[in-house]
Structure 1
Amino acid sequence: MNFFERQRQVRRLSTRLVLLFVLAVVGIVVVVNLAAVVAFNATTADPGQLAGFVAMVTVATVAAIGLAALVRTLALRGGGGKVARELGGVPVPTDTTDPELRRLRNVVEEMALASGVPVPEVYVLPEETAINAFAAGWGPSDAAVAVTWGALQRLNRDELQGVIAHEFAHVVNGDMRLNIRLMGLLFGILFLTVIGRGMARFGLISGGGRQRGNNSGGANPLALVGLALLVAGYVGVLAGRLIQASVSRQREYLADASAVQYTRQTRGIAGALKKIGGLSDGSELRSPKRDEVGHMLFGEAARASWFATHPPLAKRIQVLDPSFDPAELQRLSRQWAAAPPSGRQEDAALGLAPAAAPSRPTPGRPGHGGPGQGAPGQGAEVSPAAPALPVAGTRVRLDPADVLGRVAAPTETAYTHAAALLDQIPQPLLDRARNRQTAVPLLLGLLLSAEPQVRQHQYAALVERHGRDLADAAIHEAQALAGLHPMLVLPLAELTFPALRERPAPELESLLAAVFTLIHADGSINVSEYCLSRLLLAEIQELLRPDSRWRTDRRTLTDSRSAAAFLLATLAQVGHGEPAEAERAFQAGMGTLLPGTSWTYAPPENGVLALETAWPVLDGLRPGDKERLVAAVVAVISHDGEMTVAEIELLRTICGLLHCPLPPMAGSGIG
């Protein structure tokens, strides 16, 4: 199952989720209406009055559920970080020097680069001693990955990598958006119990006073309706939990399989599951909100029940390791009862890191101060020597079908390649990318054109609109970046993203304006510079305004063929010097996109800037149509059967704009 098939599966699950919750709400409405009719003795009313009464009760019930779900969903528009903080999560600084937290950030950064998605926020749950983790957010640009302190303490690097790979599978598969919607819908149903409890209490109190005053008998109608709402709400919550569990269990197997595909080894994720089964804390969380987020966790948040959101632990392990005997968990439990495992010590035994006593992060400031803190570099992981990157003119053969198979499907080679890319970025640049004060000038420096005349136009525009200090800092960074290998540009840009998240919204809005300034400063900006600028622009926009709509992929190729033709014509024009060769490349792309149709090659006069109106249209394509568009882009770029390093990085950037994350193309003969 490739990325586009998984996207279609998530669409089907979303539709199924809506239908199941509609059925649950219908059942609740029926129960509340019956209770209201009996409580207010409406059975004796004429049919017209009875219908009006039922309609009023139905509207009120549905409105209460819908408004509560909407309010809860809007409250989660802060992205994955909002969910992590609600569970007591503490952000891990991008420049942390704590060995335990640095190891976590390194694993997350490498997995993000290997997956082709933005580096997410990273949180640790310092009060949770169990082994667990989750990813949350509306999309990759506002995603957050959180792990418990128990996971940091007990898991070695392979196991931590397996857990993070599992969570990244949820990120790239589109599960996170579904998870947040589940939270909103469940809250809407649960809100009925709050209303019911209040009505029942008020009805009993007011009814008691009335009965003492006039000695009348009978129950207060408000109390009866409140009791019905209370019962219906709890029944609805139980139904919602069952729906939540059934949807979640199917996706956990897929995420486990994706984690194995990412890391190309089962020992990591299987080892983490064995530690959950063998340690007394298991994966059980202490947070009172654990039931609300149980469907998005790596392991069960509570003891197994009918509402288990994950498959049985032993079965998950056996799928990964068919030779596994469930009795082994009992042996491990006895062994670890006397001496619990230490991830850092296991890493040291494997030669991955020196042994060091982990420091427990202090809530509010993890990785800064406290006992056991190391200086920068202390306790750092041991990295193998990185292979040399290919020279800029290297050309490789690339099969379009192979590219489609790689979308959102990083392999062990891609993961190793991502780690090698990080190793080859000069440390001063890494430090500035991870620092919230220097990340903005560094990013703008990456976006400045290499052409002196274009750069001068960009500098003048920055001075005019954003001040000389920022413009000078950007120019200084651009000079320091001179000679940076093209395969390191996109990874370095992505590493600035976590630091940008720490900036207040007004500063991010100013950064958006600065990026727009660089894009439009001169019409001669080349396609690589434009696409990198546009990719980062899109990520910042999504961070500021996460898209929480239910469906964003409704367009078809028939509706979007003009925008697709613009993209293919632009790529053909900039990638082929001769007009005749460019037209042949364009027709090859259109033949892949819309076989059997004819389309006139007409490259836009204003070059890449013509694509500004095309991206929203193309990003809204349905998964199957988007798959054909990516294949067509590959057909245009590789019309001569080969691609340069720059063209491969351009392809990765375009795929990022289309939300089809493409890992580094290691294994293609270039790394």
Structure 2
Amino acid sequence: MNFFEHQAQAHRESKKLLFLFGLAVIAIVLAVNGTLAVLWIWMKGQYGSGLYTFPRWFFATNTAVTLLFIIGGTLFEMARLQEGGDAVARMAGGRLVMPDSREPQERRLLNIVEEMALASGIACPRVYVMDDEDAINAFAAGYHQNEAVVAVTRGTLARLSRDELQGVIGHEFSHILNGDMRMNVKLIGVLFGIQMLAGFGQHMMEWGARFGGGRSRDEKGPSIQLVLFVFGAALFVIGYIGIFFGRLIKSAVSRQREFLADASAVQFTRNPDGIGGALRKIGGLTRDNQCGSRINHHNAEQLSHMFLGAARPNLLSGLFATHPPIETRLQRLYGRSVTYLDASEIVEDSFANPASAMGFAAGGIDSGANTNPSNLPSPLQLSPLGFHPEFGYRAPEQAAIVADNSQPAPSVKIPTEVVQAARNPQAASALVFALLLDRNDKASYQMQIDILRQAVAQQCALATLLHEAVETMSASMRLPVLDLAMPALKLLSPEQRQQLLGIAARLIAADQIVTQSEFVLQTLLQRRLSPLAGREVGVRYQDLTPLKAETGLLVSLMATTEFEKDAALQAYLRSVKSMPDLGLTQEQFVSREALDFFEVKQALDRFQQLAPLAKPFVIRLMLKAGGEQLSSEGADLLRSICAALDAPVPEVVSASYASIPAL
């Protein structure tokens, strides 16, 4: 199944989710009305009334209040999760790991996440650690891949080797790239609404037990304390209808996706013992405490469908299991039965030397005191194919077939000062400005420096120094560096982000000409840092037919990027002929001189409203127009287009970054 089919399936599962949600609401409303009717009759009998008639609007009021609880709770929780992945990580008790952390275990985790992000061509996710959790578990959360977070337990850091930790992160990156996260976050809000009654009933039982008070001898009927307790107990029981449907929904949505994520982790890392070893240690730890992936946080039930392993022992197996059994997952990975592994904590001294004990490949990322932090891993150390399923995905049963990794991949080196700047919010801002400075035109360069001096005087000098380092890099590393800086840039306040975007726009406009490289950088910055970043965009167009002119514009842009004049037109025609049903002709071709990047931006805004299954056609047409081998400019362009469409980067683009020789 490719990425876009997975997205379409997510839309279908959303309908299933709504159907089950509707059933849960109907069942809860009927149960509440029935219970309150019985309670009313009982109360009448206790007070000796003997009249079993119900007040006017009795059932309508009960229904309205119940719906208010459920729908109001769902809307409240969804509003609370508006921040996306960061809000979910905090719900789980996560602590944000600073991008420049030097704590050995955290540095190892950050390095692995950076490697995965560079290989997959997405913005580096922010990282959280659940300090109070001793078991092995992790999750990814967010509304789309450009604002995802990855969270792991402290036990995951302490108990897993680097290869095993890389397998776990690969598993979570599958959820990021396959679009599972949006569904999972929506599910949190839905489940909160239908499970609210159980929580409210439990509180009423506690109120009745503590504050209900007694009654005098002259009073008839039960005490208020008893009424509160009985009513609370009834609501608590009714609330379990919501929990029943909640677990049913989670089990229906989660289990098959875990198999796919396990298989993807093997493809990403080319090492079945990575995710396999982590699962074997979860199994080994389960022998000691019943659930080696146990989460003790009070929100564990609500978030259980998001985790790598079952969060509670009662979710390990059976009809309502949120995850497949560990034995089954291991059988699929290895093709045979395997034994569990000891999950004792790794001795802290083994993290003392990042270069050796952490198992870093030559040229890997590191910012420890004993190593040079300027060497970034080539994405070829991971499997580009595994990150780009829409252009050739292997079935889960083929996961154990791992590519030969005997030959070391070429390293890609980035200047030390650039890597260090990318991990600090203010320095990362200066790095963005450095990427936009242009010394080829002295007049415009001086105007850019004047803009920086007026707007951010303290960052101006750092930006000029970083620009000297940036100029020593290959042009193809500019966007990966920007991706690397994203966790630090997202630490900026909304006001600081807006200021950054405003200054970037002024630097681009200094010479009154928008170059393609400037357009690409600005597109990525806007998509990842603007106030609208992360917002869900509704589907308005089911296919490319209403967007014929916009499609012609993007295909023309790619053709003119890779070829000159007549060759560009021929590349455009070759591309559009591969999709004759769309009806694109030579009339839709836009020459390089006539291209307007403002129109391209408007086209991308409309493409965001395109149905998931229609998006790959745009990318394939652009790939066809680009020819067999993309230039660095063409790869950067496609990377920015994919970011704007919330689509994975094609393998050929990722490979173009990986093939850069060591500097």
Band of TM-score, shorter chain: 0.7 to 0.9
Aligned to 2:626: 637
CA change 1:206–1:33 in 2 (3 A) is: farther
Aligned to 1:178: 183
Deviations 1:94-150 (A, max 9, x none): 112222221111110000111111101112222222111111122223211111222
Amino acid at match of 2:634: E
Contact 1:263 1:415 (C-alpha < 8 Å) held by counterparts: no
CA change 1:261–1:451 in 2 (3 A) is: same
Aligned to 1:562: 549
Contact 1:413 1:666 (C-alpha < 8 Å) held by counterparts: no
Pairwise CA distance, 1:381:
10
Pairwise CA distance, 1:444:
1.8
Q: Which has the higher contact order (CA 8 A, sep 6+)?
A: 1
2:369 to 359, 363, 377: 377
Deviations 1:634-670 (A, max 9, x none): 12222xx443233223222322222112155328994
**1:199-278 pair list within 5 angstroms:** 214-215=219-220, 227-278=233-284
Matched, 1:591 2:593: no
CA change 1:433–1:508 in 2 (3 A) is: same
Aligned to 2:7: 7
CA change 1:269–1:635 in 2 (3 A) is: same
Pairwise CA distance, 1:438:
0.6
Q: Bigger shift: 222-231 or 377-386? A: 377-386
Pairwise CA distance, 1:626:
0.3
Matched, 1:657 2:644: yes
Amino acid at match of 1:445: A
**1:513-662 pair list within 5 angstroms:** 513-541=502-530, 545-547=533-535, 551-552=538-539, 555-578=542-565, 580-593=566-579, 595=581, 597-599=583-585, 600-601=587-588, 603=590, 605=594, 607-638=596-627, 641-662=628-649
Pairwise CA distance, 1:458:
6.4
CA change 1:642–1:89 in 2 (3 A) is: closer
Pairwise CA distance, 1:522:
4.5
- Secondary structure at 2:129 match in 1: strand
Contact 1:169 1:255 (C-alpha < 8 Å) held by counterparts: yes
Pairwise CA distance, 1:562:
3.0
Pairwise CA distance, 1:404:
3.0
CA change 1:318–1:379 in 2 (3 A) is: farther
Deviations 1:143-174 (A, max 9, x none): 11111222112211111110000000011111
1:509 and 1:10 map into 2 onto residues whose CA distance is: 33
1:414 and 1:621 map into 2 onto residues whose CA distance is: 38
Aligned to 2:108: 103
Amino acid at match of 2:346: S
Amino acid at match of 2:81: L
Matched, 1:426 2:415: yes
Aligned to 1:359: none
- Secondary structure at 2:392 match in 1: helix
CA change 1:449–1:403 in 2 (3 A) is: farther
2:480 to 475, 491, 499: 491
1:490 and 1:30 map into 2 onto residues whose CA distance is: 56
Aligned to 2:47: none
CA change 1:624–1:232 in 2 (3 A) is: same
1:308 to 321, 334, 339: 321
Aligned to 1:324: 337
> TM-score with structure 1 length normalisation?
0.81
Matched, 1:75 2:80: yes
Pairwise CA distance, 1:555:
4.5
Pairwise CA distance, 1:58:
2.6
1:225 and 1:104 map into 2 onto residues whose CA distance is: 49
Contact 2:418 2:466 (C-alpha < 8 Å) held by counterparts: no
1:628 and 1:295 map into 2 onto residues whose CA distance is: 32
Q: Which runs of 5+ in 2 are unaligned?
A: 45-50, 359-365
1:417 and 1:539 map into 2 onto residues whose CA distance is: 35
2:328 and 2:477 map into 1 onto residues whose CA distance is: 41
Computed over aligned residues only, the root mean square deviation of the Cα atoms, in angstroms, reads 4.1
1:467 and 1:383 map into 2 onto residues whose CA distance is: 30
- What is the number of residues matched between the two proteins? 623
Matched, 1:124 2:129: yes
Pairwise CA distance, 1:40:
5.1
Aligned to 1:354: 356
- Secondary structure at 1:215 match in 2: coil
Deviations 1:378-405 (A, max 9, x none): 48899899799xxxxxxxxx9xx99833
Amino acid at match of 2:30: V
Pairwise CA distance, 1:430:
0.5
Matched, 1:188 2:174: no
1:305 and 1:385 map into 2 onto residues whose CA distance is: 39
Q: Percent identity?
A: 35
Amino acid at match of 1:376: G
Pairwise CA distance, 1:240:
0.7
**1:341-490 pair list within 5 angstroms:** 342=346, 353-355=355-357, 376-378=368-370, 404-405=391-392, 423-449=412-438, 451-452=440-441, 455-456=444-445, 459=448, 462-463=451-452, 466-471=455-460, 473-490=462-479
CA change 1:618–1:72 in 2 (3 A) is: same
1:617 and 1:457 map into 2 onto residues whose CA distance is: 36
Deviations 1:354-383 (A, max 9, x none): 349xxxxxxxxxxxxxxxxx9933488998
2:419 and 2:375 map into 1 onto residues whose CA distance is: 16
Amino acid at match of 1:33: N
Amino acid at match of 2:160: L
1:17 and 1:457 map into 2 onto residues whose CA distance is: 57
Contact 1:139 1:171 (C-alpha < 8 Å) held by counterparts: yes
Contact 2:476 2:657 (C-alpha < 8 Å) held by counterparts: no
> TM-score with structure 2 length normalisation?
0.82
Q: Which runs of 5+ in 1 are unaligned?
A: 357-373, 389-397
Pairwise CA distance, 1:210:
7.9
Contact 1:210 1:216 (C-alpha < 8 Å) held by counterparts: no
- Secondary structure at 1:438 match in 2: helix
Pairwise CA distance, 1:534:
0.7
CA change 1:320–1:344 in 2 (3 A) is: farther
- Secondary structure at 1:147 match in 2: strand
Contact 1:462 1:471 (C-alpha < 8 Å) held by counterparts: no
CA change 1:341–1:475 in 2 (3 A) is: closer
Aligned to 1:28: 28
- Secondary structure at 2:603 match in 1: helix
Pairwise CA distance, 1:577:
2.9
- Secondary structure at 2:655 match in 1: coil
Matched, 1:153 2:158: yes
1:3 and 1:103 map into 2 onto residues whose CA distance is: 29
Matched, 1:16 2:16: yes
Pairwise CA distance, 1:582:
3.3
2:129 and 2:28 map into 1 onto residues whose CA distance is: 38
1:314 and 1:65 map into 2 onto residues whose CA distance is: 37
Deviations 1:268-323 (A, max 9, x none): 11111111111335211222222222111111112125432111111110100122
Aligned to 2:48: none
2:509 and 2:404 map into 1 onto residues whose CA distance is: 34
Contact 2:146 2:528 (C-alpha < 8 Å) held by counterparts: yes
Matched, 1:162 2:175: no
Pairwise CA distance, 1:178:
1.3
- Secondary structure at 1:665 match in 2: helix
2:377 and 2:146 map into 1 onto residues whose CA distance is: 31
Pairwise CA distance, 1:344:
7.4
2:96 to 80, 91, 94: 91
2:310 and 2:458 map into 1 onto residues whose CA distance is: 51
- Secondary structure at 1:168 match in 2: helix
1:236 and 1:448 map into 2 onto residues whose CA distance is: 57
